[in-house]
C-alpha cells in the first residue's frame, strides 16, 4: 500500500462515523473518489455512490462497504454533571469502562467512561450494561455539562490508528471503514484497468443498526446486475478464541470469499476464478444462514439480485483495538478490480450471473 492510499485509509479511520452521523467520513470518501469517478452522488441519508461508466452492453457491478461504526449516544445528563449513555449498534459493554471517549457535540468534548477503582469494588463484579455506565467530561454539575453537550450527541472511543509489527495496524472502527476504503480503491483500480463493466462504488450508512443504508441503495440502484459487499469478518487465529469457534480465517491469509446464504454461486465461482487469474490468495468462509453484512439487504432488494460477500480478516471486532493486515486490505481491492473485469469480459446484461435450473 503506497503512501497516498494509506493516507486515505488513515483519514477514514480517524474520522468519527457512528451510525446516523456518517457525514464527515462520507465527505472524506467522496472527496477521494471524485478524483477518478465519472460522477459521484449522495442521497437524503448520506449514502454515497461513485460511478465508472463502462460499455452499456456490459454488466453493471456495485462494490460496496458501510461507512458507519458502532458507538454510543448521550442519553441523559445527571445532576452531578455525568452523562448516561446508550448504545449505537453493537457496542460491547465489556470493553467500554475506563476508556477515553469523544462526545461529538458542536465542538468535540473529551471524556472518560467511569470505572470504579479496584480498591473500592467488591471482588470481580460482573460487567455492567452500557445503560448503567456513565461518561465523565469533568463538569461540576448538569448546568456546566449542558454548556458543552446535549442529549443525542454521538460518542466514540478516542483511539486512533496504531502501527503494529509488519503490515498490521490497530484502530477502532476498522469495521467497516476498511470496507469503504476497499470499495473506493477497487473502483480506482478497475477504472485504471479500463474495465468494460460499469462499476458503482458505494459507501452505505447505518449498517450497524439494521442494514438500513443498503436497503435504500438496493432499491435505488435498479440498474445494478450484481452487488459485492465488502466487510470485515472474524479472524479466529488468536489464542482466546474457543477451539470450537475456530475457522479457517487467518490474518494475512488474504480476502475471504463467502459461500452460502446471500452469496450467489455464480458470483462465488467468478470471484474464485478471478482471484486465481490475478494471483490473489483467498480464503473461503461458510455462511449457512446469513452473512451479517449489507449483502443480506442487497440480494433481496428487488426480485433477487446476485450478491457476494468479500471480507477482510479482523481480530477483536467491535472493540477499540480492531487489528487487520493491510496486505489483506490491498488484496481485497485487487480482487474487486479483478471481479468486475471478469464480469465485464463474461458477456452482456445480467446473463453472466444466471443460475441454470
Name 100's bridge partners.
Answer: 112
Is the residue at 165 inside a domain? Answer: no
66 belongs to an annotated ligand binding site: yes
Structural domain range at position 99? 71-157
Question: Do 280 and 177 reside in the same domain of the chain?
Answer: yes
Write out pLDDT tens, residues 263-293.
999 999 999 999 999 999 999 999 989 999 9
107 belongs to an annotated ligand binding site: no
Catalytic residue ranges: 207
Last-in-domain residue among 157, 191, 216: 157
The answer to whether the bond into 353 is cis (omega within 30° of 0) is no
57 belongs to an annotated ligand binding site: no
Q: What local confidence, expressed as pLDDT, does residue 128 receive?
A: 86
Question: Do 43 and 78 reside in the same domain of the chain?
Answer: no
Is the residue at 41 inside a domain? Answer: yes
Question: Do 181 and 37 reside in the same domain of the chain?
Answer: yes
234 belongs to an annotated ligand binding site: no
Question: Do 38 and 75 reside in the same domain of the chain?
Answer: no
Q: What local confidence, expressed as pLDDT, does residue 356 receive?
A: 66
Q: Provide the CATH number for the domain around residue 137.
A: 2.40.30.40
With b meaning 16 or more CB within 10 Å and e meaning fewer, what string describes 307-318?
bbbbbbbbbbbb
Write out pLDDT tens, residues 94-129.
999 999 999 999 999 999 999 989 888 876 667 789
**What is the signed CA dihedral for 239, 127, 102, 143, rounded to 10 degrees?**
-170
Q: What local confidence, expressed as pLDDT, does residue 357 receive?
A: 65
What is the number of domains present in the chain?
2
Is the residue at 167 inside a domain? Answer: no
125 vs 162, which has greater pLDDT?
162
pTM of the model: 0.95
Question: Do 149 and 100 reside in the same domain of the chain?
Answer: yes
Amino acid at each position: 500500500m503506497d503512501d497516498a492510499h494509506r493516507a486515505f485509509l488513515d483519514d477514514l479511520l480517524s474520522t468519527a462515523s457512528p451510525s446516523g452521523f456518517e457525514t464527515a467520513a462520507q465527505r472524506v470518501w467522496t472527496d477521494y473518489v471524485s478524483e477518478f469517478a465519472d460522477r459521484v452522488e449522495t442521497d437524503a441519508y448520506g449514502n454515497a455512490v461513485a460511478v465508472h461508466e463502462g460499455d452499456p452492453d456490459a454488466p453493471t457491478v456495485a462494490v460496496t462497504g458501510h461507512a458507519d461504526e458502532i458507538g454510543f449516544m448521550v442519553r441523559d445528563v445527571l445532576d452531578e454533571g455525568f452523562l448516561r449513555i446508550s448504545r449505537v449498534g453493537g457496542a460491547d459493554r465489556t470493553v467500554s469502562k475506563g476508556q477515553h471517549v469523544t462526545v461529538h457535540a458542536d465542538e468535540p468534548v473529551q471524556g472518560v467512561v467511569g470505572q470504579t477503582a479496584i480498591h473500592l469494588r467488591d471482588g470481580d463484579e460482573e460487567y455492567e450494561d452500557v445503560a448503567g455506565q456513565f461518561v465523565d467530561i469533568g463538569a461540576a454539575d448538569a448546568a456546566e455539562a449542558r454548556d458543552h453537550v446535549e442529549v443525542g450527541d454521538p460518542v466514540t472511543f478516542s483511539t486512533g490508528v496504531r502501527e503494529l509489527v509488519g503490515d498490521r495496524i490497530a484502530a477502532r472502527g476498522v469495521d467497516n471503514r476498511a470496507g469503504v476504503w476497499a470499495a473506493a480503491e477497487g473502483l480506482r483500480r478497475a477504472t485504471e484497468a479500463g474495465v468494460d463493466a460499469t462499476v458503482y462504488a458505494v459507501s452505505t450508512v447505518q449498517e450497524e443498526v439494521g442494514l438500513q443504508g443498503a436497503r435504500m441503495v438496493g432499491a435505488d440502484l435498479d440498474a445494478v446486475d450484481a452487488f459485492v459487499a465488502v466487510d470485515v469478518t472474524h479472524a479466529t487465529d488468536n489464542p482466546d478464541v474457543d477451539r470450537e469457534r475456530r475457522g479457517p480465517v487467518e490474518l494475512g491469509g488474504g480476502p475471504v470469499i463467502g459461500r452460502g446464504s446471500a452469496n450467489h454461486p455464480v458470483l462465488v465461482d467468478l470471484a474464485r476464478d478471478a482471484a486465481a487469474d490475478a494471483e490473489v490468495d483467498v480464503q473461503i468462509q461458510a455462511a449457512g444462514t446469513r452473512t451479517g453484512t449489507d449483502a443480506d439487504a442487497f440480494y433481496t432488494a428487488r426480485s433477487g439480485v446476485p450478491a457476494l460477500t468479500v471480507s477482510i480478516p479482523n481480530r477483536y471486532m467491535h472493540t477499540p483495538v480492531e487489528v487487520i493486515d493491510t496486505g489483506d486490505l490491498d488484496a481485497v481491492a485487487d480482487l474487486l478490480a479483478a471481479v468486475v473485469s471478469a464480469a465485464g469480459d463474461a458477456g452482456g446484461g445480467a446473463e453472466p450471473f444466471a443460475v441454470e435450473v
